[in-house]
Amino acid sequence: MGKIRIAIDIDNVIADFEGAFRREINKKYNYELKRKDIKEFDFHKCTNLTEKQEQMLFNDFINNDGFVNLKLIRGSRENITKIKENNFIILITSRPKALRNITLEWFRRKRVPYDKIIWSKNKHLQKTKYDILIEDKFEYALDVAKKDRKVILIDYPWNRKNIFHRNIIRVKKWNDIVSVIRKLKEAQ
C-alpha cells in the first residue's frame, strides 16, 4: 500500500502542553485543577481565570521556557516512528511563529521524526494537503471532517462534545492509532 500524508497536531498530541500549563495555573492561583476539570479547550472557560489572565500566564509560560520543557505524550514518539516508515508525516501547529526555533529544537531533542512542519491555524484549508489529521481540538477536527477528510481525535475531557461526525474517529491513546490508520488505508 502506498504512502499517504498524515498531518499531526503538536500540542496535546505529541507535547503535553495542557499538563504543563495547568500546573502553572495551579501554582500561580493556588488551584488544584486536574485534567478531568479541563472541559473546555480554553482554560478561562473552565476556571475562574479571565481571558486576559490566561493570556498573561501564557506569555509568562513562553518567556519562562515552558515550551522548551514540555514532556512527550506517552506513545507518541514510538508510534510516529512506526507510522513514518510507510507514510509522509506533516506536523501542523497553530503555535505562535515566535516558537519556531524552540519547537524545531524540541523535536530534535525528543527524537520525534517528521518530514515537514506547517504553521497554520487553518488546518481545514485545502491548500494544506494531507489525507488524515491527528488532533485534540474538537473545533479543528470538525472543520476538517466537514471538508471530507478523516480525523483521528485523541480523547480528552475538553473534546467530549455531543456532536458526531462520520469522519471523526475517537481514540483513547497513541497505541490505537497505527491500526486505525491501517484500516483507513485499506478502505481507500
Q: State the helix-helix crossing angle for 177-187 and 76-84, rounded to 10 degrees.
A: 30
Residue 93, helix vs strand vs coil: strand
Nearest distance, CB of residue 52 and Mg ion, angstroms: 22
Region of residue 178 (phi > 0: left; psi between -120 and 50: alpha; otherwise: beta): alpha
Question: Of 46 and 86, which CB lies nearer to Mg ion in the complex structure?
Answer: 46
Cell of 177: 492509532
Question: Of 47 and 136, which CB lies nearer to Mg ion in the complex structure?
Answer: 136
Question: Of 1 and 97, which CB lies nearer to Mg ion in the complex structure?
Answer: 97
Question: Of 9 and 16, which CB lies nearer to Mg ion in the complex structure?
Answer: 9
Nearest distance, CB of residue 37 and Mg ion, angstroms: 18
Q: How far apart are CA 185 and CA 83, in angstroms?
A: 12
Nearest distance, CB of residue 65 and Mg ion, angstroms: 20
Q: How far apart are CA 147 and CA 139, in angstroms?
A: 13
Nearest distance, CB of residue 10 and Mg ion, angstroms: 7
How much helix, strand and coil, in percent to the nearest 5, is found in the chain? Answer: 45, 15, 40
Interaction site with Mg ion (CB under 5 A): 9, 11-12, 136
